[in-house]
Each structure stands twice: as structure tokens, then as C-alpha cells.
Structure 1
Amino acid sequence: MRHHHHRADYHHSRVHRRDAARAAAAAALLALVLLAALFGISRWERQAYAPGGGGTAAASRGQPDITWNGTVYTPKQQVEAYLLMGIDVTGPVTSRPGNYNGGQADAQFLLVLDNEAQTWQMLRLNRDSMVDVPVLDLRGDVIGYERQQLALAHAYGDGTNNSCRNTVDAVSRLLGGAPIDGYAALNMDGIALFNDAIGGVTVTITSDFTAVDPTLVEGETITLNGQQAFEFVRTRKDVDDQTNLARMERQRIYLEAMKPQLLALSNEEVVRVMDAVNDYLVTNIGSQTVLDLAEKLRNYQGLPELTIDGTNTIEGEHVAYILDEDSLQQMILQLFYQEKTT
């Protein structure tokens, strides 16, 4: 499996106000990260722009052919994939020394672009999915793998790039070794800041939030302020059936409602919004790559969001989402493979 080891400085680097290209790049990254990380959730993590790094649409991905149900599939050769995360840590991003201080990645989305077909698609990953998680020692080296919730992969490490890379490793392994070209992770405090920076997001409240926030009245349509947005996309306890699946549906609703506002942002507004969330983001996706992604997302056909089927169960004191192996294999083939022609 191919790994990216760009040590992007995670400390804040501001968007240049007079640089339209950087503003466009920031807009794209904002859309990418907040398409996903925005709704991360369960308490709250941090930021950075890499000058280069991330994203190289490989001419050859080096993956083997797969035979499934009697059909041979070969890897697509012009695919890019980026992992977007929302992290359960409060405050701006800081390096927290140790091997288990990264915070959990409560929201995870994989953005996959097919440059040959000129399409893009999001795979939403359930944070409770039981997968092989890389376990790191104090030096940040992998010492083994344990079957744990996917969200815990980010907890290993110091909460910056090594935690992100560990999650990339876990997701890539889950998807049969599929290469992942870059990552972006947003601290959960960034949700409220971002929501307010774009003027609030209007949604219809579909759940009973009485026990959490009485201002969120079921059935009413309201423009969420920052704290309300945070509760709407984050809360699991005492809302709906208290499962991550129900929370993921609210995240989807919020994202759909937010999209028009993202698309309407001017360059100046992008700079202002990025200033608001700048200290809450970690990424190795370089500015030029983000600019390229923005152009592709604008011109490529967006396909429906995907999820991997599974079943919720309880293991010990925790919820475990047991992935359906057939559904998982279908996702791998759909995103990264095509039928082999002779």
C-alpha cells in the first residue's frame, strides 16, 4: 500500500487576501473538508495548509486484479481519493505528545474522483465500523493491528498528521489496500464557527431534541446558529434511537442544506470563513491540488453518496457496526475497479 509522508506543518498558515487562486483553493478545501468534517461529531479538533503534498492521480495504482462472482475486475488507472474527517477534540489543533492522544474521528468521508469517467463520489464511513486499526507506539510506529471501531484509528498519535495518516492506513486496509492521496481533518469546534461564518444553515428539525436543546423544536424550520448546528449534527445521546446511523442522516440533511451557501461564497467571503476555521484544520492536501480538485468538482458529474451496509450490535459497552462483506466488496469494485476486457 502506498503512503504519503508529507509532513505538512499543521500550524496555521493564513490565506493571502490578494491571491485569488489561493482563495479558490481555500473554497475548494473548505467544501471538501466541510462536506465531511463539518459534521464530525461527538465532542470536538484542528488545522493546516500544506504548500504541496497530497493528490497525485496515479497513472498506475499497482493494485492486483480481483475476481468476484466469476467476473474479473482490474484497477481503474485514473482515480484519486481523499479522506475527510471530523475529530472529537475541543479547541484549536495542538500536538499532544503520546501514542493515544489524537481524539476520535467521528465523521469520515472518502472523496473519490474518476478522472477517466470524469465523475466524483463520496463514500460515507460509519465511525462504529469494526476494522483492523493500526496501533502505534510512542515513536509513532505501527506495532500491530487490533479489531476496533474505525473512529479509534485517529486516537493513536498526537492529534496532527500522524493521527491522520493512521486513519488513512485503516481506511485503505478496509478498502482492500486502495491508495488514498490526501487527508483533511477538522476540529469539531470548527462546526459552530463555520456555520456562523456563512450566516447559518436553514434546516427542518426532524428529531426530538428536547433533552438536549429545547430551541430545536421538532417539525420547525429554523436557521441554525453555531451552537444549534453543533448539536444538530453532533448529538447522539437522547436523540432519535441514539445510534450513529441516525446522526449520519442528520449530517446528510445539514450538508445538503449548506451546499448552496458554499457555492455562493465570493473569494472575499471564502477568506473570511477560512480565517474563522483556520486553526481547527489539519491537512496534507496542497494548495495547487486543492485548486485542481475545485476545477474537477465543478466540471465532473457528481454521483450519489455511498454507504457500506452493515448491522449495529453491542460489543462489551460499545456499539459495533458489523460491515456486510458483500456490500463492502461492491463499494471497493464500484469506486476503484472496472470489468476487465480481453
Structure 2
Amino acid sequence: MKETNSGRKQYKTEHHSRGMMKSLMVVSGWILCAAAFVAGGLTVLGISGKYNLKQQTMSYAASAGMPVRTITVTAGAEEEREKDQMADQNREYRYNYNEDILTFLFMGIDGEGAAEGYADGGRADALFLFVLNPHDETMSLIPINRDTMTEVDVYDAQGNYKNTVTAQVCVQYGFGDGGRESCEYQIEAVSNLFYGIPIHGYLAVDTGAVPAVTELIGGIDLRALADVRNGDREVILRQGELVHLDGDQACWYVRDRDSSAELSAGGRADRQRQFVTALIDKVRRMTKEDLTVPIKIYNSISDRAVTDITVDEVTYLTAIAGGYHFSESRVITVPGRSISGEESRDSGLDEFYVDETALYELILDVFYEPADEK
């Protein structure tokens, strides 16, 4: 009798185990199917995003005109002698525009005050071009000095074009509605500054969103480039300190400047460049482990951000950017010289003038490739 009961018990145990195993296999099957569905969905979104970005390049070419596809540069006699002792000043170098490159404009917006003498849509106090090159699998970051003097289109309160003036590039944003219109105006000004390169999308974020982003990614570690003060002008970070930035400290690090000091925007721009470089590097590393990180970041700042980059485009960019090389060497500064407000002739505001020759060379280096010699 004991043996019979023992046999029944063993049978029930084995039967139960087989039932559990079967259930686990079914659940596992559904999980695998769901994972495959999600992966397939991400793949489809990625393909769609790639197609959309390519179409934008083609549309830009049709409407605004692409930058010259092939550029011929004639080297001077002295340059030739330095290079290879040749004095033929008619020697030509040919460059082709890289039509596979993707360029995005990031704008950090200060909406608390209007630029003096201009509209009240806010200011683009931080401007960065983010460049993805699939040919060499690199990411480049090009900070743009907000005081860069360039052509700015002036619009009245009804949005009617009035004229074009030379002013700081950051004020172009203010002539729009503080949203998409402002972003489109800013893109055009930056594109013109860079000799008409296509810009495939934009992200404009109010500086008040910085705390949410840094907290979501667990903060950023860096060495403070300068003393940083909060809104009460109390020093909260000391120059040279190794600090862990999150929350309000991160916000003040990229925002603080002494407006009474000459050329103070330059020091803040250095901190912004350092912060954004560290941010990109950390997000890139986190995205390798979790492809949804960029979406989570955008969701955390969506009420303070404006973008024309779609979900499928983000999916594609996330998929490719994780394997791209990015380091401080890929942060490329636009050369030029700054003039303080006291020195400027008309505006009384700080001004930055790019070195046109150096800027042209930068554009050739980043956005063009040497033509194959035949």
C-alpha cells in the first residue's frame, strides 16, 4: 500500500513537473515571440527612419539647393612649396560632399529673457551641431559660439519678413514663436553660416530640463572648469573640483554666468561643451545596454522640448550611433575671435567673428571627402 501511494505521489510529482515545464515552455515561447516582434518592429522603424532622413537630404537639395557637390580648391604657390616643393599655383584639389552624412542642430534655450533690441521668443544660448558620418563611423560635435556674428532675418510680430541684419546668431530664435517656427529660423541661420549644409533635424530644450536628464542617467562626473553660482549668487561648485552633477547643480553648471563681466558667455560655453560631451558619452554607453534610453530621456523632457525628429528616426539613429566612435577629439571648435561689448561698434554686446578660412577648412574636413583621383 505504501508502495502504491508512493508510486501515485511520484506520478503526480512527475506529472506536475512536466506540466510546469510545458507551461514554462509556452510562456518562454510567448516571450521569445514578443521579443522577436519588438525587434522586428524596431528594425522596421529603423528602416523607415533611415528612408525618411535620406528623403530629407533629397528634399533639401530640391528646395534649398545642396552645398556644391564637388569643390575645387586651388593651392597657392607658397603652400605648394611647403608641401612638396612644387610652385604650380594652379594645382587643384577636389572634394565631394558626403551625402550620407547626417547633421542635427541641438539648441539650449533660455526663455526667461529676450535678447536686447530683438523679439521675445527666447534665445538659443547653446548651439551644437551633432554630425554622424557612416563612412568612418564617427560622431562629431561642433559647438557654435552664441555670439557669432552672421546674417539674421528680422520678422515683425505678425511673422512678416522685414529685412536681414548682421547680429549674434543666437537671437535668430527669438524672432519666431518660441517653438517650431523659432527652430526653423535658427536652422536656416546656422545652415547659412556653414555655407548651406543640410541640417536633418533639430532638438530645442529649455535649460530647465537639464535636472531631469541628469537624474535619469544617474548624473555626470566631471572636473569643474570654473566657480559656479546659483540663482542667489552663492558659490555651489569650486573650480578644479571633481564633482558629480545631477539635479539643480547640473542646471547651474550649464547656465550660470556673470552678465556684468565681459565675454562671460565664452566661459559658460566651455562648460556647456564639457557637459554635453560627457552627456553624449554616457548616454551612448547606456544605450548599448538599453536601446530605449533615448526615448526615456525625451519622455522626461518632452514638456520642455521641441523637435522634428520622429520615433522611427530616433530608432535608426540609436541603432547606428552606438557603434560609432566619439571622444573629446571629435569635439571640433569653430575658430575665431571675440570682441567685448565695449569694443563693439554698434550693439554694445559681446561679438564673435569666425575665421572664415578656418571655418571653410573645417567644413571641408567634416562634411566633404577628397575626390578619387583618376
Partner of 2:137: 118
Partner of 1:83: 105
Within 2, Cα distance between the matches of 1:232 and 1:158?
27
SS in 1 for 2:330: coil
Corresponding position: 1:104 with 2:123: yes
Q: Output aligned runs, 1:223-302, within 5 Å.
A: 223-237=244-258, 242-259=263-280, 261-262=282-283, 263-264=285-286, 266=290, 273-302=297-326
Could you tell me how far 1:141 is from its partner in structure 2? 4.7
Could you tell me how far 1:275 is from its partner in structure 2? 3.6
Within 1, Cα distance between the matches of 2:249 and 2:260?
14
1:334 to 365, 368, 372: 365
Number of matched pairs: 293
Partner of 2:67: 63
Cα deviations by residue, 1:136-162 (Å, 9 ceiling, x for unpaired): 244435443211101011111101111
Partner of 1:39: none
SS in 2 for 1:159: coil
TM-score using structure 2 length: 0.68
Q: 1:332 to 1:143 in 2, by over 3 A?
A: farther
Q: Percent identity?
A: 27
Within 2, Cα distance between the matches of 1:238 and 1:274?
31
Partner of 2:335: 309
Letter in 2 for 1:112: V
Between 1 and 2, higher relative CO (CA 8 Å, sep ≥ 6) is seen in: 1
Letter in 2 for 1:84: F
Could you tell me how far 1:293 is from its partner in structure 2? 1.1
Partner of 1:318: 349
**RMSD of the alignment, in Å?**
3.4
SS in 2 for 1:306: coil
Q: 1:176 to 1:257 in 2, by over 3 A?
A: closer
Could you tell me how far 1:210 is from its partner in structure 2? 6.1
Within 2, Cα distance between the matches of 1:125 and 1:196?
26
Larger Rg computed on CA atoms: 2
Question: Unpaired runs of 5+ in structure 2?
Answer: 1-34, 76-92
TM-score using structure 1 length: 0.74
Could you tell me how far 1:269 is from its partner in structure 2? 6.5
Corresponding position: 1:188 with 2:210: no
**Bigger Cα displacement from structure 2, 144-153 vs 238-247:** 238-247
Q: 1:216 to 1:259 in 2, by over 3 A?
A: same
Corresponding position: 1:166 with 2:160: no
Q: 1:253 to 1:271 in 2, by over 3 A?
A: same
Task: Assess if the C-alpha contact under 8 Å between 1:54 and 1:286 holds in 2.
Answer: no
Within 1, Cα distance between the matches of 2:54 and 2:122?
25
Task: Assess if the C-alpha contact under 8 Å between 1:208 and 1:239 holds in 2.
Answer: no
Within 2, Cα distance between the matches of 1:273 and 1:122?
19
Cα deviations by residue, 1:151-181 (Å, 9 ceiling, x for unpaired): 0111111011111011110011111111111
Cα deviations by residue, 1:173-199 (Å, 9 ceiling, x for unpaired): 111111111111001111122223333
**Bigger Cα displacement from structure 2, 323-332 vs 263-272:** 263-272
